[in-house]
């Protein structure tokens, strides 16, 4: 059987990093709690507006604005700042994935990370997120990988992580 390899380059953009930060923020307890709090605040405001004091209305409106508007704006600002400051994002990163792991290179620097060293791999509609720790991930935008490489990477992840402790989430199923 021929060893499958998937090669692609990623130029990190604010949009792609923002997608990752939003996914990461809203797929943990604090993000889910914030959204639920804003929804309950909106329901309380809508159903009991006349009975509420002005102070209570103001607090509910503040909760809604914080979690629905301000939090995403803050996260976008963080993504923009990271892309500006991080030297690794100035040039594309080149990746070669095979059954052994993922080789990352940029310029003269190169590093290979074996599949067993990864924490989890998540597939969303727009990205593959390959976590090396619970909070740090390699971001592989499908738009930059292309349809064929995205499909091949999906299959490669399934085969390569089969007998590992790597968690598969999202559109990836073990």
| Sheet (strand 101-106) strand order | 6-10, 93-97, 101-106, 109-114
- Asked if 115 contacts 98 with a C-beta cutoff of 8 angstroms, the reply is no
- Asked if 146 contacts 97 with a C-beta cutoff of 8 angstroms, the reply is no
Q: What pLDDT was estimated at residue 84?
A: 95
Model confidence at 23, pLDDT cuts 50, 70, 90, reads very high
Phi, psi of 86 (to 5 degrees): -80, 115
Q: What pLDDT was estimated at residue 96?
A: 97
Reported pTM: 0.87
Q: Is the pLDDT of residue 155 over 70?
A: yes
Q: What pLDDT was estimated at residue 1?
A: 35
Mean pLDDT, residues 102-127: 95
- Asked if 139 contacts 16 with a C-beta cutoff of 8 angstroms, the reply is yes
């Amino acid at each position: 059987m021929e060893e499958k390899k998937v090669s692609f380059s990623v130029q990190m953009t604010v949009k792609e990093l923002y997608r990752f930060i939003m996914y990461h923020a809203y797929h943990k307890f604090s993000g889910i709690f914030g959204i639920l709090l804003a929804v309950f605040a909106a329901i309380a405001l809508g159903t009991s507006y006349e009975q509420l004091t002005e102070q209570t209305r103001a607090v509910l409106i503040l909760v809604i604005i914080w979690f629905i508007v301000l939090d995403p704006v803050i996260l976008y600002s963080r993504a923009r700042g990271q892309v500006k400051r991080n030297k690794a994002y100035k040039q594309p990163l080149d990746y070669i994935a095979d059954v052994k792991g993922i080789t990352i290179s940029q310029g003269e620097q190169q590093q290979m990370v074996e599949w067993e060293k990864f924490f989890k791999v998540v597939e969303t509609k727009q990205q593959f997120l390959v976590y090396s720790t619970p909070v740090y991930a390699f971001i592989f935008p499908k738009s930059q990988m292309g349809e064929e490489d995205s499909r091949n990477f999906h299959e490669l992840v399934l085969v390569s992580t089969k007998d590992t402790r790597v968690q598969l989430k999202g559109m990836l199923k073990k």
